[in-house]
Amino acid sequence: MASPGSSAPGGVAVVGSGLIGRSWAMLFASAGFRVKLFDIEPRQVTDALVSLRKEMKMLELSGYLKGELGAEEQLSLISGCSDLREAVEGALHVQECVPENLELKRKLFAQLDKIADDHVILSSSSSCLLPSKLFAGLAHVKQCLVAHPVNPPYYVPLVELVPHPETAPATVDRTYALMRRVGQSPVRLLREIDGFALNRLQYAVIAEAWRLVEMASPSSRWPPAWHLGIVVQPLISGAEVKMAACFSSSLSCEQRVPPKVAARWGNSSGLKGSPFSGHRESGAPGPDLLRGGMLSYCDRYGEGMKRVLKTFGPVPEFSGATAEKVHQAMCVKVPDDAEHLAARRAWRDGCLMRLAQLKHQLPQ
């Protein structure tokens, strides 16, 4: 069996050929892996193959195709498969990409458990289902983990690797190596935690931005247009655009973010909105982390951070009048019909790709 570290890549099975499955397929093929795409809906596989051809040809034309192989060569590595057992046979890695539903995923992993050999890695793309729930009772639990990508994985390299308590360290190591090999920036979580790391951060920012919107004065002289940041301006004055940046990068990536501001949100491993320094490096507000290092930063701000965190309010409902208000504000910028959203996604993907290229050229 080929290993991710060997010079002759082996095969990868992608189970579920929707948004994330397609992106994974492109990534694996870009590094020369054979990819078998399986889906419970055969039509999804057919559509995926058509859309992958279109996208990879377009990327090649614009010079953004990843990897050393041409689009035709990469495409020849990807094939559709109508049988799960056939898709998994001989694979060194299975990347599960079915909808975020615990029962559905558990059923699928039970099926995979029956057909897996003792070497293949069984990896879930789950955004926030705990490995202890996903893989409970599986005979091959040592070979299981979550490899949570960030949408769109082809452009945003961060992948969280989250083990089950019984996952073998070699499983995490091999997946880490595989992710590096396909150009991703994996991070290892030492143990599972609800929301993993990325979404715990994002949810905290989203929840707080949400509360700020709710607290903003209804008699604000600022119209709820251009940006959510405008809505919160009366409440937090100079900080409003930073909140807007967080909201944009976390909630949808559909809003335009002033680049100077977005550069503070995200980190070098590619958090959404991503650019060049994250909270770890910039600190906010005031003096930055690079001034005296982490211990000094904690010394200076630890108590304040604790105090602020203790003031976090209850979990918002994410519905009702506030949901409508946020929705309306976002629609001013990007109407939520399929055509506008698709155009905005294309614009975003182009920006992320150019940003990745720029980062590559800069000294690290």
Taking the complex as a whole, the smallest distance from the CB of residue 39 to ligand NAI amounts, in Å, to 4
**Residue 16 found at the interface with ligand NAI (CB under 6 A):** yes
- Which one, 88 or 230, has the nearer CB to ligand NAI? 88
In the region spanning residues 135 to 164, those forming contacts with ligand NAI, defined by CB under 6 A, are 148-149, 151
Taking the complex as a whole, the smallest distance from the CB of residue 59 to ligand NAI amounts, in Å, to 19
Taking the complex as a whole, the smallest distance from the CB of residue 128 to ligand NAI amounts, in Å, to 7
- Which one, 128 or 351, has the nearer CB to ligand NAI? 128
* Tokens describing residue 159: 């992948």
Q: Among the residues of the chain, which ranges form H helices?
A: 19-30, 42-62, 71-77, 84-88, 102-115, 131-134, 169-181, 198-215, 228-236, 240-247, 259-262, 279-282, 293-310, 320-333, 338-361
Taking the complex as a whole, the smallest distance from the CB of residue 125 to ligand NAI amounts, in Å, to 4
- Tell which residue, 228, 223, 222, 216, has the closest CA to residue 255: 228
Strands 144-149 and 158-163: antiparallel
**Residue 108 found at the interface with ligand NAI (CB under 6 A):** yes
Separation of alpha carbons 136 and 164, rounded Å: 9
In the chain, DSSP finds a helix count (H) and a strand count (E) of 15, 8
Taking the complex as a whole, the smallest distance from the CB of residue 277 to ligand NAI amounts, in Å, to 24
Taking the complex as a whole, the smallest distance from the CB of residue 141 to ligand NAI amounts, in Å, to 19
**Residue 223 found at the interface with ligand NAI (CB under 6 A):** no
In the region spanning residues 311 to 330, those forming contacts with ligand NAI, defined by CB under 6 A, are none
Taking the complex as a whole, the smallest distance from the CB of residue 108 to ligand NAI amounts, in Å, to 5
Position among 10, 18, 67, 80 found at the interface with ligand NAI (CB under 6 A): 18
Contact status, residue 301 vs residue 289, Cβ threshold 8 Å: no
**How many residues form the binding site for ligand NAI (CB under 6 A)?**
24
Q: Closest-CB residue for ligand NAI? A: 18
**Residue 58 found at the interface with ligand NAI (CB under 6 A):** no
Separation of alpha carbons 46 and 98, rounded Å: 16
- Which one, 1 or 110, has the nearer CB to ligand NAI? 110
- Which one, 21 or 131, has the nearer CB to ligand NAI? 21
Cis amide bond preceding 285, omega within 30: yes
* Tokens describing residue 257: 């973010």
Q: Among the residues of 237-292, which ranges form H helices?
A: 240-247, 259-262, 279-282
Which region among 121-129, 196-204, 206-214, 285-293 touches ligand NAI (by CB under 6 A)? 121-129
Sequence letter at residue 28: F
* Tokens describing residue 220: 């604000």
Sequence letter at residue 187: V
Position among 98, 179, 330, 353 found at the interface with ligand NAI (CB under 6 A): 98
Q: Which residues bind ligand NAI (CB under 6 A)?
A: 15-21, 38-41, 44, 97-100, 104, 108, 125-127, 148-149, 151
